[in-house]
Amino acid sequence: MTIRPSGPVTEAFEAQRDRLRALAYRVLGSHADAEDVVQEAWMRLIRQDEGSIGNLAGWLTTVVGRISLDLLRSRQAHPETGYGHEFAGLVVTPADEPTPDEQVALADSVGFALLVVLDALTPAERLAFVLHDMFAVPFHDIGHILGKSADATKMIASRARRKVQATDRRPGVAREHREAVQAFRAAALSGDFEALLRVLDPNVKLTVDTADGMVVTIGATEVASGARTFSGEVTRHRPVLVNGLPGHMSWHSDGTPLSIVTFTVAEGRITGIDIITDPAKLASIRLPAPT
């Protein structure tokens, strides 16, 4: 018997919707993609034989996990068609000691910062980490999604956890971030190509969010080659925290925002650079230009 979009099964699915959406968002980092994944899970559910589903919650978790994994792998295979982080709701604060209100805002942004860290993981690592560490899905079930044994899946999740912990806020990590960012800016401003290569991870990912869409560049040589143009129009800038991550904000001479740049750093090297130049997104930032 085919399940119809009404009755107890619909109610059971709706009871799971928020959890499934949260799971897909943590894996994918995109609210729009998460909604699409959950909708696809629903379409598969209504085509499924009701008698073949013993545990609806587990079945839905598996389906959402598999769809999300396929999407992650597709992004990795075709980075030029990948997504950028959803910058709506940017929290931009000065890089010095935040006020109590700013501390609350930064606490609210931790989820975003984690998504940036998760971008450094492989699709399998990201899925295993999110499902196990955030949603307590057993390794056996995650392995079923990945096509791995429970032991192999546990190793994948452990490797992902070490990578995430390597970018946490332990003593010295903030200094490491700051020093890497300062080294990058100094090298970019002076045009020191070799210094840029030293501070960039070989597989660094640069994402530029423009008014015309996302532009993605991967690789230290390619990123370094264009780095010297970052400050071409900059007349005023200051260090900032963007959703809890170290970065810089720049303004035109008339005080209007020019760009926001954030950096992801691991083991002393920059692994990710995100630049926003879209005027529509920058218009929501109220941080004044330095005098």
pLDDT in tens, the chain (291 residues): 334 445 777 888 988 898 898 888 888 877 778 889 999 999 999 888 777 888 888 999 999 999 999 988 887 666 544 444 444 445 676 665 444 444 444 444 445 556 666 777 888 998 999 899 888 899 999 999 999 999 999 999 999 888 877 765 544 556 777 788 888 888 888 888 999 999 999 999 998 888 888 888 999 999 998 876 554 445 577 877 776 666 788 888 888 888 888 888 888 899 888 888 888 888 777 777 777
154 and 256: one domain? no
Q: Is 213 helix (H, G, I), strand (E, B) or coil?
A: strand
Q: Give the total number of structural domains in the chain.
A: 2
Instruction: State the alpha helices, DSSP H only, in the chain.
Output: 8-28, 31-46, 56-77, 100-108, 110-118, 123-129, 139-146, 150-165, 173-190, 193-199, 220-227, 279-282
pLDDT of residue 28: 83
89 and 187: one domain? yes
181 and 153: one domain? no
User: Within a domain: residue 2?
Assistant: no
* Domain end point (choices 165, 197, 222): 165
CA distances from 237 to 86, 102, 127, 262 (A): 23, 20, 38, 13
Which helix (H) or strand (E) segment is 202 a member of?
Answer: strand 200-210
- Side-chain-facing half-sphere of 256: CA atoms under 13 Å: 8
Q: Is 1 helix (H, G, I), strand (E, B) or coil?
A: coil
Length of the chain measured in residues: 291
User: Within a domain: residue 59?
Assistant: yes
User: Within a domain: residue 115?
Assistant: yes
Nearest Cα residue to 163 out of 129, 131, 201, 197: 129
Q: 214 lies in which domain range?
A: 85-120+170-291
* Domain end point (choices 102, 132, 165): 165
User: Within a domain: residue 3?
Assistant: no
- Extract the tokens encoding 123: 């699709």
Say if residues 222 and 214 touch (Cβ distance below 8 Å): no
C-alpha 164: how far from its chain's center?
A: 12
Q: Is 271 helix (H, G, I), strand (E, B) or coil?
A: strand
- Extract the tokens encoding 290: 């330095």
Sequence-distant (6+) residues with CB within 8 A of 124 are 69, 146, 148, 156
Say if residues 280 and 211 touch (Cβ distance below 8 Å): yes
User: Within a domain: residue 204?
Assistant: yes
- Encoded amino acid at 121, one letter: L
* Domain end point (choices 134, 165, 196): 165
Q: To 10 degrees, the CA torsion angle through 121, 122, 128, 131?
A: 70
Q: To 10 degrees, the CA torsion angle through 268, 85, 34, 152?
A: -20
pLDDT of residue 176: 75
CA distance 190 to 118: 32
User: Within a domain: residue 1?
Assistant: no
